[in-house]
Amino acid sequence: MESPFIQQLLLAHPDFYIGCFVLFMALFLAHKFPIPKGYQPFIALHLLAKQLASKVNHNDRSQTQQLIAGTLASLLLLFPFWAIVSFLLAMAASPWFFELLVLYVCLSATSFSGTAREIAAALKQQENQSAKTLLADWVSQDTQGLSEVGLSKASISQLLTRPCYGAISCILFFAIGGSPLVLAACMCRQLELSWPPYYPANRHFGRFIYRLNRIIFWLPNGLWNFSLAIQGGKVAMTAWLAPPKCRHALSEFPSLYLGAKLLNVELGGPQKIPQGRTQYRLELDKIKAGKLPNYQDINLAIMLTRRASQFWIIFSLSIPLIWSGLSWLQSM
């Protein structure tokens, strides 16, 4: 039976504790039982974005026309779907369940650690083809021509960048604006992944969504890099505070640079990008911070990013506990 204090606490701040329950339950479900990549709802948004870009993104037009086309395409894909889901959340008889569902879907879209473990296990057994198939669902580059080093680089890069748009952004945006804001931020990120701004074809078309995401995720990116840097001492803090400039529109470059320094591995380098029946070779900056990576470095990256994510999860979990403790002290 609940004590009178607990009943009083829940009655005094029901929305706060229900919100905490929804958030932590979504984090737990996405960590233990993420939605498989092929069944995630954002796949539909990704396909729509690709189809729309093929119709309206014309590189033979002026930069201004490409920018306007990309801006209108972004608004067309974002606002209607976001408005419908937000309306359903507002009208639902049990909104906490649908908020949990939204958070679970958004978190599953960034949950790569399980796939990274499978890739590391496949590389350990020298089953490179299995590793290529697993990675292909998560990256836009061609994975069939990648060696073990290339597969390790791509996997580590995903591990270093995706959590920022997962747990940290979810916690922060849910605290600010609830699940509708989390959904909006996640949709913006998915559009950027559909139109990578460092691809020549998207340089102007994807500029609006790229700059919008730079603003939206400025704080989550900073918090994520901080949680990485505190694990590496003075050298990592210096790398966090003064990262080098990147020649391409790659907002995750500071995370990649910091992660490469912590793991003492080389990241970056050229990528083969499918363009219809041909391929384009994209020369991304190399981060030469150590040796060429292998499957063991993927496992080290999993541990590094897990500790960084757990830092913010524990921090957010402590807030309702501290609040309850202060309320208990006040009631004495």
pLDDT tens sequence across 121-136: 999 999 999 999 999 8
Q: How far apart are CA 168 and CA 308, in angstroms?
A: 10
Q: How far apart are CA 68 and CA 74, in angstroms?
A: 10
**pLDDT of res. 5:** 56
Residue 248 scores a pLDDT above 90: no
Q: How far apart are CA 176 and CA 310, in angstroms?
A: 20
Q: How far apart are CA 270 and CA 150, in angstroms?
A: 10
CA nearest to 178, candidates 126, 243, 254, 102: 102
**pLDDT of res. 269:** 81
**pLDDT of res. 276:** 63
| Cβ 284 vs Cβ 154: under 8 Å | no
How many angstroms separate the first and last alpha carbons of the chain? 21
**pLDDT of res. 249:** 63
Using 50, 70 and 90 to split pLDDT, how confident is the model at 237? confident
Which residue type sits at 206? G
Residue 166 tokens read as 């997962």
**pLDDT of res. 88:** 87
Among 93-97, 111-115, 246-250, the range scoring the smallest mean pLDDT is 246-250
How many CB atoms neighbour CB 32 within 10 A? 9
**pLDDT of res. 104:** 93
Residue 238 tokens read as 């210096």
Q: How far apart are CA 260 and CA 266, in angstroms?
A: 6
Task: Give whichever of 235-244, 300-309, 323-332 has the largest mean pLDDT.
Answer: 300-309
pLDDT tens sequence across 148-200: 999 999 999 999 998 889 889 999 999 999 999 999 999 999 999 888 887 77
User: Could you give the 3-state DSSP secondary structure of residue 126?
Assistant: coil
Q: Could you tell me the residue ranges of all domains in the chain?
A: 14-331
Among 69-73, 78-82, 249-253, 298-302, the range scoring the smallest mean pLDDT is 249-253
Q: In the chain, which residue ranges form alpha helices assigned H by DSSP? A: 4-12, 14-32, 42-56, 63-91, 95-108, 113-124, 128-136, 148-161, 167-194, 207-216, 218-229, 233-241, 253-263, 295-331
Residue 243 scores a pLDDT above 90: no
- Per-residue pLDDT averaged across 35-54, rounded? 89
Task: Kindly list the distances between the CA atom of residue 42 and the CA atoms of 48, 70, 102, 310, in Å, as whole numbers in the listed order.
Answer: 10, 19, 11, 25
Residue 3 scores a pLDDT above 80: no
Using 50, 70 and 90 to split pLDDT, how confident is the model at 327? low
CA nearest to 196, candidates 95, 34, 57: 57
Q: How many CA atoms lie within 13 A of 184 on its CB side?
A: 17
Using 50, 70 and 90 to split pLDDT, how confident is the model at 219? very high
Residue 322 scores a pLDDT above 60: yes
| Cβ 243 vs Cβ 258: under 8 Å | yes
Residue 1 scores a pLDDT above 50: no
| Cβ 148 vs Cβ 294: under 8 Å | yes
CA dihedral for 172, 177, 179, 183, sign (positive or negative) = negative
Axis-axis angle for helices 218-229, 253-263 (nearest 10) = 10
- Per-residue pLDDT averaged across 266-287, rounded? 77
Between residues 278 and 126, which one has the greater pLDDT? Answer: 126
Residue 56 scores a pLDDT above 70: yes
